């Protein structure tokens, strides 16, 4: 197990915020984003999380790499 990848004073709260954003922002009953809009929002969210946790840029690229794959399949 790798530890100390993130610098975070409130890890539980960060996790709650991240999960809340996913639950709310990606709820198709609330928003009807296009695939392009979802991709942009995931890139912004990854950037936000990386900066908030003081981790390397690209550490959370998996959040938007899925949307890249979906775009390529269409």
**Residue 23, in any domain of the structure:** no
Task: Show the domain range for 48.
Answer: 32-74
Please tell me the predicted confidence (pLDDT) of residue 1: 56
Higher pLDDT, 24 or 72: 24
Confidence of residue 5 (pLDDT cuts 50, 70, 90): confident
Q: How far is the CA of 16 from the CAs of 12, 13, 19, 73, in angstroms? A: 6, 5, 5, 32
For residue range 8-67, list pLDDT tens digits in order.
888 899 899 999 998 898 899 999 999 899 999 999 999 999 998 889 999 999 988 876
**Residue 70, in any domain of the structure:** yes
**Residue 17, in any domain of the structure:** no
**Residue 27, in any domain of the structure:** no
**Residue 51, in any domain of the structure:** yes
**Residue 2, in any domain of the structure:** no
Whether the pLDDT of residue 73 is over 90: the answer is: no
**Residue 73, in any domain of the structure:** yes
Output the 3-class SS for the chain: CCCCCCCCCCHHHHHHHHHHHHHHHCCCCCCCCCHHHHHHHHHHHHHHHHHHCCCCCCCCCHHHHHHHHHHHHC
How many domains in the chain? 1
């Amino acid at each position: 197990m790798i530890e100390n990848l993130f610098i975070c004073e409130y890890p539980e709260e960060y996790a709650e915020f991240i999960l809340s954003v996913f639950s709310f922002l990606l709820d198709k009953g609330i928003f009807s984003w296009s695939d392009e809009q979802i991709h942009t929002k995931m890139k912004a969210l990854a950037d936000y999380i990386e900066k908030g946790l003081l981790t390397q840029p690209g550490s959370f690229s998996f959040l938007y790499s899925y949307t890249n794959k979906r775009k390529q399949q269409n």
